Structure 1
Amino acid sequence: MNTRTAISDLFTREEITELTAKSDLHGSWAVLSTWAVIGGTFATVAGFWEYLPNWGKLLICIVALVILAGRQLALAILTHDASHQSLFKTKWLNDTLTDWLCARPVWNDLHKYRKHHLRHHSKTSTVDDPDLSLVAGFPTSKKSLMRKFMRDLSGVTGFKFALGRVLMDVEKMEWTVSNDRRWIAQEGRQWSDYPKAFIKNSGGAIVTNTALFSALWAAGHPKLYALWVLAYVTPFPLLLRVRSMAEHAGMETSNSALTNTRTTKAGYIARALVAPIHVNYHKEHHLMAAVPYFKLPRMHQMLRERGHVSEPPTYWQVLNELSAKAD
């Protein structure tokens, strides 16, 4: 098993200081631009709706679902970055603002996610990695991968995820973002404890989604909120799956981020859908999680120039590699 990579062997102290410098301006841009795309998507659908034939309405809804799912993933990635205290320089912006503007709208919780995710970083690719179930079973066959994708697009995965989230928020199941299920003993609980727990744990998601629905209602288009829900249960799980596969599936079991984590080349479409906020530079992120998103491309280039990493594969190449197993 490879030993853990010492970051001091890769960068000087001055370079580490420069790479880990955080910025409220860049953090604000990432959050506001994500919501600007969300708002622009709703506005576009509303503005063109009455002028489109039925097939045009169907087409614009499909496009909107894909765009919204990509931005829901962006909100999840912003939550991920905030869990490492790297999104904003100011703690309140990083921990409170991001929780309410990024985590809660996609039914997440920054503080619970941070506790879970930091264990993933300390135990990556080992049997104690809490995210191991997300990438188990790869490589697989193309037929198997297509079945997984169809479950995502049909809403089966999204429904199971939502059901799991309810069970976690009523505190019948331990909180996780992986596929593992660990049940909590229920001895001594009263029936009234379940709705109380749900309100306590899901209250933020309810408030932020009510705010989004109210904004659409005030704009005269409350029905557009259905696109947000449909995006969450259909394309969003597919994008989450591809992102997880690209990061760790099929990689070595080792203590080194240079071998247990994958960086993936992302073009404009990939960045819009499965690799927002430079999350594709995942090897770099695992090497030094304190580096903010806008410094990751520079960090990658420095590692390339020094021969520590090679040219990364594209997402298509990763998917082909992970589905090359014979039936």
Structure 2
Amino acid sequence: MRAAQSEDRAEEKAPARMGVVDIRHFRAFLMEGERAKLFHALHTPRPAVALFQTLQTWGLIVAAWALCFYVSPLWLPLALVLVGSRQRALGNSLHDASHGNMLQGREANRRVGSVLFALPMFEDFELYRTDHLNHHAYLGDPVKDPDFMALPPGADGQPSRDGWRVYSAFLFDGPLWRKSLWGVLGRMTSAQRLQVLLWWTVVLALFAALAGPRAALSFAALWMLSRATVYHAIKVFAEVSDHIGLVPGSIIGYTRNLPGNALSFLLHPHHDNYHLAHHLFPRIPLANLRRLHLLLKESPEYGAAHHCDTYFAGPSSVVHSWVAPKPLPSLATAREALQPHHAA
């Protein structure tokens, strides 16, 4: 409990460092009246949901492989979409576990997160966790935020106002593609790489034992081809969508909530679309973020933040927000606007 509280404090120092957003405003809002009990309950992990999501994710991956291997290789395009999007889902589950939100206890999150999510994705749990906590602590810092992305320049040298140019600049970025393909293998120690190798040796040996060497080879090929194509495309889209085009300096001004619709299953699995809610309260499990979002929507300041209703079309779409986000008042200005005005 003490460790979790310490991590909570560490993660929520970010706004104080940036000197703009007072996160205590939103905490105080959520601690008012009936909201307090609901807010407290939202911090509780939901292991049954995590188990269902994990079984669903790995089940769809194996089903996509079986469709190609046992039915017809013509199913490969669908298999790539399924596997690539479920690889993104594995990354989101790793994200949840890295915050200690999936299960009770940091060690349980570390062990389960390593075996089920990190190692198959060529990640080391502690490396991932350190990088991600730095993203929270130094949000929007071009040097210290490991996930910082700036709008690429357009033809006139100014930040691009063309959505495709923005996306393609990152989609065809060599280092980003290699990271999607190989994870952080290049940063790992020999012992950490050995863990990844051992994981894949056991899994592919199991495929070979159950269905023959061709099965093992085809699963490995589908896994890597998915990472090189659909997974990379989804990962880039999702990570560009979180913050790019917004003004650093506060959590609420520099973070978007993304749509919750049928496409979210592919692009933002496991409630990863509530990104602003997550940055405000990172110790709340992903499975509870929708309920947190609905509570926060009762706050006018949160309601006026960057909420995208669609992905590709319209003025409130994600792509439009990359290049032409709406201006937001500071929290202080918003509070003043909400104060009742009295006649002199």
TM-score, length-normalised on structure 2?
A: 0.74
Corresponding residue for residue 311 of structure 2 = 315
Corresponding residue for residue 68 of structure 1 = 83
Q: Aligned partners of 1:258 and 1:4: how far apart in 2?
A: 10
Q: Is 1:206 the equivalent of 2:197?
A: yes
Contact 1:266/1:280 (<8 A) preserved: yes
Corresponding residue for residue 96 of structure 1 = 111
1:270-295 Cα shifts (integer Å, max 9, x gaps)? 22x22011011000001101111111
Q: Which amino acid aligns with 1:322?
A: W
Q: Which amino acid aligns with 2:267?
A: V
| Local SS of the residue matching 1:276 | coil
| Local SS of the residue matching 1:258 | coil
Q: Which amino acid aligns with 2:298?
A: E
Go from structure 1 to structure 2 and tell me whether the alpha carbon gap of 1:213 and 1:241 turns closer, same or farther (over 3 Å shift).
same
Corresponding residue for residue 156 of structure 2 = none
Q: Aligned partners of 1:75 and 1:161: how far apart in 2?
A: 13
Go from structure 1 to structure 2 and tell me whether the alpha carbon gap of 1:115 and 1:156 turns closer, same or farther (over 3 Å shift).
closer
Q: Aligned partners of 1:215 and 1:164: how far apart in 2?
A: 23
Q: Aligned partners of 1:8 and 1:29: how far apart in 2?
A: 30
Give the length in aligned residue pairs.
285
Q: Which amino acid aligns with 1:94?
A: N
Contact 1:65/1:231 (<8 A) preserved: yes
Corresponding residue for residue 31 of structure 1 = 54
Q: Which amino acid aligns with 1:295?
A: N
| Local SS of the residue matching 1:315 | coil
Q: Is 1:253 the equivalent of 2:245?
A: no
Q: Aligned partners of 2:187 and 2:85: how far apart in 1?
A: 25
Higher relative contact order (CA 8 A, sep 6+): 1
Q: Is 1:3 the equivalent of 2:24?
A: no
Identity of aligned residues (%): 23
Out of 153, 163, 169, the residue aligned to residue 148 of structure 1 is 169
| Local SS of the residue matching 2:263 | helix
Aligned ranges for residues 1-327 of structure 1 at < 5 Å?
A: 2-6=20-24, 7-12=26-31, 13-49=36-72, 57-58=73-74, 60-137=75-152, 139-142=160-163, 144-145=165-166, 147-148=168-169, 151=172, 157-159=176-178, 162=181, 165-169=184-188, 197=189, 199-217=190-208, 218-220=210-212, 221-222=215-216, 223-255=218-250, 257-271=251-265, 273-307=266-300, 308-310=302-304, 311-316=307-312, 317-322=317-322
Q: Which segments of 5 or more consecutive residues in structure 1 lack a partner in the other structure?
A: 50-56, 170-196
Corresponding residue for residue 340 of structure 2 = none
Q: Aligned partners of 2:263 and 2:228: how far apart in 1?
A: 21
Corresponding residue for residue 193 of structure 1 = none
Tell me the CA shift for residue 19 of structure 1: 1.2
Q: Which amino acid aligns with 1:19?
A: L
Tell me the CA shift for residue 245 of structure 1: 1.3
Q: Which segments of 5 or more consecutive residues in structure 2 lack a partner in the other structure?
A: 1-18, 153-158, 326-344
Go from structure 1 to structure 2 and tell me whether the alpha carbon gap of 1:15 and 1:164 turns closer, same or farther (over 3 Å shift).
closer
TM-score, length-normalised on structure 1?
A: 0.78
Go from structure 1 to structure 2 and tell me whether the alpha carbon gap of 1:303 and 1:67 turns closer, same or farther (over 3 Å shift).
same
